[in-house]
Amino acid sequence: MILLTHSQTAMLRDWFVPDRPGPLVGLHVLQTGNGACFADRWPHPRTVLTAVAGNYALTGEPEALTPDHLRWRIAGFVDAPVRFVPLLQATFLNVRVWERVIFALETAPRFSFPQGLLIRRLGRADTSHLLGLSPEVAWVWKTWESPTRLATSGFVWGAFAEGRLVSVACTFFMGQQYEDIAVVTEPEWRGGGLSVACAGALCADIQACGRRPSWSTAPENTASVRVAEKLGFTVQRRDCLYVVGNAVPGPASRQVA
């Protein structure tokens, strides 16, 4: 496949719109410049692969590709129409299905700030705080390629306790109409409302910019589902990602039949 330049990728905007709640890999690559976009040919591609931080999206005609096109380009979570499943199965062993539930926020977020803790929007000076996150939650900045890019994006809120950053909510995928958000809290600080507070403030920012927040999680991730429901998110659809070359997070996965 051919690696496209950012200007070439920009010419493919119509491939990715209108967007909807959920993973927005293609638009995130286009909107932020993070990640990469590949095509089977240029110009007039028939199939496009977008990728950022182990997240992938396939769009177009699977017949335009062979297993050799994908075998060394994908290892992670693939958002693709079901017509791409035979190609994925021909390319990879043990293609797994990761069930997802997709939420959208149609009202103002419901949240409040816990007393005694500093919760605020992050900026460039907070790069070191993002670098200090534990490995368990540091994935939150990966679709921005570096903590610095996330810190300077304007799309991130954090909660501080005992002089350190302990909870973060950010735009994980930047779409045109929607922003799919992520929120993490360090294990020892969970259960205190920090995820709700940070995510709520981020959602308010997103809505103030004229866009709409979305939330994607696994149905068995009850903690994530509860946070979404507390904020006022409602279920839009059930969906799935295909997982290749990685372990599937959580127990509720199945192999593609």
Q: What CATH code is carried by the domain that includes residue 166?
A: 3.40.630.30
Q: What pLDDT sits at residue 245?
A: 84
Residue 149 lies in a domain: yes
* Dihedral angle computed from the Cα positions of residues 180, 95, 220 and 80, in that order, rounded to the nearest 10 degrees: 30
Q: Based on the domain organization, do 197 and 213 belong to the same domain?
A: yes
Q: What pLDDT sits at residue 250?
A: 62
Kindly report the pTM of this predicted structure: 0.94
DSSP classification of residue 28: H
**Residues of the chain whose pLDDT is less than 50?**
251-254, 257
Q: What pLDDT sits at residue 92?
A: 96
Q: Based on the domain organization, do 142 and 231 belong to the same domain?
A: yes
Q: Please identify, among 64, 99, 134, the residue that sits at the C-terminal boundary of a domain.
A: 99
Give the number of domains in the chain. 2
The phi-psi region of residue 113 (left if phi > 0; otherwise alpha if psi is between -120 and 50; otherwise beta) is beta
Residue 253 lies in a domain: no
Residue 245 lies in a domain: no
Q: What pLDDT sits at residue 52?
A: 98
Q: What pLDDT sits at residue 256?
A: 52
Q: What pLDDT sits at residue 242?
A: 97
Q: Based on the domain organization, do 75 and 114 belong to the same domain?
A: no
Q: Please identify, among 48, 66, 99, the residue that sits at the C-terminal boundary of a domain.
A: 99
The domain in which residue 50 lies consists of 2-99
Q: What angle do CA 62, 67, 71 make, to 5 degrees?
A: 120
The DSSP bridge pattern shows strands 47-52 and 36-39 to be antiparallel
Q: Based on the domain organization, do 81 and 170 belong to the same domain?
A: no
Q: Which of 191, 171, 193, 194 is nearest to 182 (CA)?
A: 171
Q: Based on the domain organization, do 73 and 121 belong to the same domain?
A: no
